[in-house]
Structure 1
């Protein structure tokens, strides 16, 4: 189960090199595949969200053709399926892939074709995965309403919802309030990046002004949790998020890279899980963080001593929170996830 993964943050290093050659992109720091993989991870280890985001100039730079988008999406589905993921919501901002003249509709249709191809290839190898798309608008731009309309237009074609991404500081979610009002009145799903690089104000606006169903990252909610001799105390916002079961799309390795957490061992996920917030575990950007869903769980096991029952809890949290019809969520939980973990829990 995966709820928070960026398409342009999960390319294979070899694919980046090969697409750069075929599309004429000249900006790569190296064309050696192994060196490039290491470069992306090192460049993302900046401690700053803004610096972290600069690495996307290269992945987006090689994804400006239909063929490139189809290939990247297909490989994304295959890679996730090979990691044991059975359901994935993968997000991207269509506006980032129009530099060479592609229309927004063409971008979306190319990615959907790629996901379908990746699902087919995975199934041929006995790996079944359901791919769902989230369309992002860049919060520093002014196209949120336009992208929201696309999310609604394509919601019967594999697009499950909407998100805003990009730098949090200086670009509060309420800048895009018209888009969120449109989505709500259209009965459409949306999540909001909030509480990653910015604090409680961003989370509060995302929930109380914009009506977000989930929080992308959301880890700064720990700023509203205090501890004294009498124990842990939740502030009004933290209590509201926990009580209403608003899901947190937590991305541990990415949060360490961007400075939202000092280390995996000190990551707020330990406290948030202990307090039974609806925590989910995600990859964010597999290329930049050099991670997979499996490696994220392995890191949490090492840091917090989690067992299979804990991992099942995180996984079911995610499936309960998916932008998918209730019947389909229930079927995946009862027919795929629980039987799979039952084998491991024996």
Structure 2
């Protein structure tokens, strides 16, 4: 059974559109349509659309080609077709080449400078080697991407571009969390703590980052350190402004619940998660972990109801592999005819899930 410590942060790109002041389709062929398909998780449709656009020679501008390539690589990655994603990336030159600079084409992009490479393409360039088992190459590229992001932050700060700095700061957090995730999977806790503390050195009152530090401390067995971090997140983060009031209060409740779970005080943990759910019925971490606590209290019937209720109320949010794996495990513990129940669940998932959902998680 898998618990969840926090909601994954909205990952700052899925595909970055650099032309915020220009109509989407004015810069790239049918970009709005691609983004709509991505938002709906229609990754196979994206692959088909890219293939047709290439076959019909609809991509005329340099930016068209690099943007469609990025969407195609992302779609292959979402569908776990990593070799095909790698082939897309292999067709790209050095991402910092002048070939991908707007100023190289002044007649096509008058008065526009900078890179046309979406941030997500740089991220995929680092991620794909890891997915193909080439961990060291991927880690090296992730650290290279982190250096790139921090250079951008420094440049934007020197030019007093505050809005742009905020975007790149979010990307810094995203990349650091990617790196931490890979180090955590190999129990390299010292590196993780160092990386998180480096982020906190520049934003010491961010409740999300302080909480992330607490989650890492919990995994190292440092319960007292985690408690101190969670308390700091609650006290110092109150007026930070990086989260809405509801997001902040739910973060505090989830942090308290985690400490209770570690201490096996599941009744108190359930109470904290219930407060989260009342406040925000899309808080899937709270739904998932409340159900686990009820299961640990040997209340399988209610734990199943909690997860089924989450899937019924907010299917587009609740439909993730961790929650479904936990629900199927509970079915196996609770019912003799669990195979039939899981098949019914699988049929429902097939109708509503995005293309990248891993249907094997139902174990039917």
Structure having the higher helix fraction is 2
The answer to whether TM tops 0.5 is no
Q: TM-score, normalised by structure 2?
A: 0.31
Structure having the higher strand fraction is 1
Q: TM-score, normalised by structure 1?
A: 0.33
